[in-house]
Amino acid sequence: MARKDLLKNLMTAEPRKAEATPLPRSDRGAIGAVTKSINELKNRAIIDVPADVIDNAGLSDRLDDDTDGIRALTESIREYGQQVPVLLRHSPNYEGRYDVVFGRRRVRALQALGLPVKAMLRTLSDRDLVVAQGQENTARKDLSFIEKANFARQMVSAGYERKLICDALSIDKTVISRMLSVTDAIPEDLIRAIGAAPAAGRDRWLALADRVKDRTLSDLIQASRGADSNARFAAVLAATARSPAPRSQQILRDADGAALGRARRGKAGTIIELYPAGEEFADWLVTHLDQVHQDWLRNRN
């Protein structure tokens, strides 16, 4: 009778409270088979978890804050309730807490409402968590190319092998290579300054990656202005389409104000060119450059 009641409780549609103590399990014989079946039923069950004991885990998958989206989701859940459960695991670091595998936006909305979170609970390692998160991201339509590319970059930085990244995102090595070529060429600070840019697409990000190689990061971030991430991407792409700004140039003059030559400053360094009238001074400067440098060292403070 007790076994029937247990199975009945596991199959009920009503969410149950999260259990702190897992059932004992055995992997051998008939008892092991029954225990395994019960655990599989439990894995399909939906439980209620207090929102304030749930933490983020895994990798960051979004580049934009999505405040408006969270607000809209919160209002939808307030009116209609939570329709889709999230996936959690027991926190490996804190007793009695849980990590989000996927469903972060729903958790944030329910935390704002002070409501419990309907969730499925799995036992996952960090590696399994990232794979599950990546597979969930692949199935979603609202993640942009650069957000998926940035997710792949984080997996590389975390030390995961290329095959696992392909499996997690359900894409082949060629696509992964293109994604990583973008995140290798474009500094992360610039990617975050631009944001998700959902309208940009792979080809335009590849074009931007080709153009940023000889550009100054601060100038590109300065160019990333716009009301939304699509506008910021377009602004940066337009900035890289223009020729690089000319190197700064300064006319060098003697004590009487006559031009001696010019100094040009660029990425490779500073070039001093003296006019023919200053040739004698040029010869002296080359001979006494060490002395001039020592005088500068003594007087720079």
Say if residue 15's pLDDT is above 80: no
CA distance 247 to 202: 33
Confidence of residue 12 (pLDDT cuts 50, 70, 90): very low
As beta bridge partners, residue 89 has: 99, 122
Tell whether the model's pLDDT for residue 164 goes beyond 60.
yes
Does residue 172 fall inside a structural domain? Answer: yes
Q: What is the mean predicted confidence (pLDDT) over 35-60?
A: 74
Task: Give the pLDDT confidence score for residue 112 in this predicted structure.
Answer: 92
- C-alpha of 245 from chain center: 31
pLDDT of residue 167: 84
166-179 average pLDDT score: 87
Q: How confident is the model at residue 6 (pLDDT cuts 50, 70, 90)?
A: very low
What are the tokens at 145? Answer: 């190319």
The answer to whether position 65 is within a domain reads no
Cα–Cα distance for residue pair 292/296, rounded to 1 Å: 6
**Residue 78 — pLDDT band, cuts 50, 70, 90?**
very high
Instruction: List beta partners, residue 248.
Output: 265
Instruction: Give me the mean pLDDT over the 198-210 stretch.
Output: 91
For residue 24, the Cα-to-chain-centroid distance in whole angstroms is 39
Q: What is the CATH number of the domain that holds 222?
A: 1.10.10
Res. 157: pLDDT tops 80: yes
217 part of a folded domain: yes
Using DSSP bridges, classify how beta strands 248-253 and 98-102 pair: parallel, antiparallel or unpaired.
unpaired
Backbone φ and ψ for 106, nearest 5 degrees, come out as -65, -40
For residue 193, give its domain range. 144-242
Looking at the domain assignment, is residue 106 inside a domain?
no
Rounded CA-CA distance 156/159 in Å is 5
**Tell me, what's the pLDDT at 144?**
87
The model's pLDDT over 106-125, given as tens digits with 9 standing for 90+, comes to 999 999 999 999 999 988 88
Does residue 73 surpass a pLDDT of 80?
Answer: yes
Q: Are 108 and 71 in contact (CB under 8 A)?
A: no
Please check whether residue 33 lies inside any domain of the structure.
no
Place of tokens 């307030």: 78
Express as a percent the part of the chain with pLDDT over 90: 25
Provide the token pair at 191: 């990617």
Q: Is residue 278 part of a domain?
A: no
Which tens digit of pLDDT belongs to each residue from 259-281?
A: 777 887 776 678 888 777 777 88
pTM for the whole thing? Answer: 0.55
- Looking at per-residue pLDDT, the higher value among 278 and 17 belongs to 278
Asked if residue 113 belongs to a domain, the reply is no
Chain segment 206-260, per-residue pLDDT in tens: 999 999 887 888 888 888 888 889 999 999 999 888 665 555 677 777 776 677 7
Residue 191 forms part of a structural domain: yes
pLDDT class for 40, splitting at 50, 70, 90? low
What is the count of structural domains for the chain?
Answer: 1
How much of the chain exceeds pLDDT 70, in percent? Answer: 77
